[in-house]
Chain A
């Protein structure tokens, strides 16, 4: 395999005059399940083998992807990639350059206690059915639930024209569980995700009963909740909401490609943009975490990247192209979902560092506001506007947690909001999830509980 890939990269440079060439190949197997209530909709097994070829010709990228490992097909694809780059370069003003990266030769093997490829389909189905049984058995007002399960195992290969040769095992185990409850015309909805790069053993701690109870309880508790008042309020955010805030509201702005596109961080490097309690990292090296890997899809080692230190912007997340533009070092954030797409700058495990408060202390500081414990979804714009939809929420009245509220969301401007973070907890949790930026990748985000002096709360009451 490796020799074939190396030859392709040689062809791009020698025959077509490419300044740079890289070839990524994958051999992957997937197992998927969709289980609705007690019905297994389908048990699924897939094989995806393919190659992505990317070249830089005249300072322009050419990219070709084919679902084949045949030498003949690949040879024609590399010529396609080079010709297309040439065609696209006709109107180029600023040629693309790449920052230097150390040449690597490595073979990365995954050692998991329970490799999902060695767990039989019956057991996976059994686990899924047990989750749904726990959900439906929790309360008769829970009417439906859906479990999606995916595991992915295999090997990826990376070679480039600079001499890097990497063979890296891949292993992901993921599940998303949703439930809905109905009572007296009120419909509620809850969700939870599980994800690991360690192995199927994730279900030993996150047992079906535990997952099921968690999701069911979330749906049921919202039934008695009321709509929040819209307006500007002080809030305490749970670690789960802090995670999505760090990821969506700040993280995307710290992706160097978006920063260059007019994002608010490009001109703020080294400047204070947040209160002193704010320290953020994006870390690809946490063992077993859903966003971890050893090398990114440009062959650059993953690292722990400091983004904000005590409120001051310390760095951005780079690929080799943006690193060259910023005169910085690549940070190992170039990721491609699969062989069909080119690598782009993506987050890994993104989080806020914990501080010293207890949850009680954080809540005590709020006279009238909300405790937003977990999220349903989040999104941000490069102008710094963010929105996070809330799943589990409570009022805070005179420093104490009060009645539950449902269907709230928060919004604000990231930079304004970061200055309003006035205290952070000593707790810390990382939450697995998926992030979409045209392509989907697996990530984690998290942090401690925090208190924010004011944020806009969207509510219909």
Chain B
């Protein structure tokens, strides 16, 4: 099934808005989504499958007397299905409760260009090309060490396009592509099996380093073979991007969402202009970061994406807004309305959560640690207290650093504390930033974290 053309998507969005207004909507917004993905999968050391997914649909949001209704359908080539969805959105709104704080859909604003988000070569990749990428990872892992066993992984190429229109004249179309490969591996020696160690590379241009991913997953797995217990104490941690992504997503990122602040669900309420982190920490939400994995011209309700300063040398400067939360405070949206394709209404989400790198090389940062732990993967970050920021998680595993060298790994090490204390205790930031989902960040060195050994 060929992807829908730009014009077809925009026409569908605009026609749907008109239809909803004609049926009695006070306001209407239509979001048309097209996603196509091809992938090959690795299971237990070999390539075992290839998948192709085509998913498209239309989401319609309407207001009637300040009550909001939403409907979607994934059948977009049938007039009757689209009409049914319009009727469903209206009936949902009519059944719903008016919201006095509703101040209308977004207004039309000019869009910046999302740089380096679409590389045509990605959508031209064939399953055979992806087989080669996956094979390169497997070969690199096998070459690294005989004890390595690739558990799962794969290579994939994806294309996403969306069109939006609303009754205030907002109209936009954007498309992007991403190519990625990933490998999860364990190392086995006798009866010993390491925790799963994972590496990946996702890019907006047709250029992933499969050999690096394979070799790195293998290196991490092998380095987890030598284990020793560690004692319970308060110590230094180097948090890699994996650990930061897990910990921050469930805590800090919640705290900077304006709706959580407005509803008293954020520890950052009334804290703008105050010190919330060490002066080493500067964070932007950058919806226009060139080649960022969450970079786009506009957000899920057609508002331009932008670069927003959140934390400047430790001082809290701003929150993330969508149209609704912004209008509640009489301000402008920061372009942070996100949607799960056509399936959901917009909600506030970070775009590229960019923690600025520092001047220290990663090896140097490691070299500075006399006694501490290097943390990659965490378990249980999702069970953190999203409001208070308190966490209690397991490192799977933790790598022990002594005199600047990694000496062994340790299983079952628990880390406990409060993310907001952790941010205040950041003593150095490395220069090795990388993209990981919504995060763009370097390694961070943190002092005084409680670790519970076995």
Contacts and interface: CB of A to CB of B under 8 A. Distances in A.
Given A61-B48, A63-B52, A87-B126, A382 B151 contact: yes
B418 interface: yes
B104 interface: no
Interface stretch (A44-52, A103-111, A281-289): A44-52
B115 interface: no
Given A68-B75, A87-B131, A413-B412, A77 B1 contact: yes
A61 B135 contact: no
Interface residues of B, number: 93
Contacts of B383: 375-379, 387-390, 409
Contacts of B55: 65, 67, 340
B392 A408 contact: yes
15 contacts: A40-B68, A44-B92, A45-B71, A46-B88, A88-B49, A261-B43, A262-B151, A262-B193, A407-B385, A408-B392, A411-B379, A412-B412, A456-B452, A460-B418, A460-B450
Contact of B186 (A50, A232, A382): A382
A42 B74 contact: no
B306 interface: no
A12 to B, nearest CB: 14
A49 B76 CA distance: 11
B392 A143 contact: no
Given A63-B50, A409-B414, A460-B390, A43 B380 contact: no
A341 B51 CA distance: 9
Interface of B: 1, 38, 40-41, 43-57, 61, 67-75, 77, 81, 84-85, 88-89, 91-93, 95-97, 99, 101, 126-128, 131, 135, 149, 151-152, 186, 188, 191, 193-196, 232, 259, 263-265, 267, 343-345, 379-380, 382-388, 390-394, 396-397, 411-412, 414-418, 450, 452, 454
A250 interface: no
A188 B385 CA distance: 7
Contacts of B69: 42-45
Contact of A261 (B44, B46, B379): B44
A66 B55 CA distance: 6
Contacts of A182: 264, 387
B47 A88 contact: yes
Which 7 A-B residue pairings sit nearest by Cβ, starting from the closest? A389-B383, A377-B383, A387-B380, A121-B95, A61-B49, A84-B50, A458-B414
B72 A46 contact: yes
A188 B388 contact: yes
A385 interface: yes
Contacts of A267: 191
Contacts of A340: 53, 55
Contact of B56 (A67, A143, A380): A67
Interface in A123-158: 125, 129, 143-144
Contact of A231 (B38, B101, B232, B265): B232
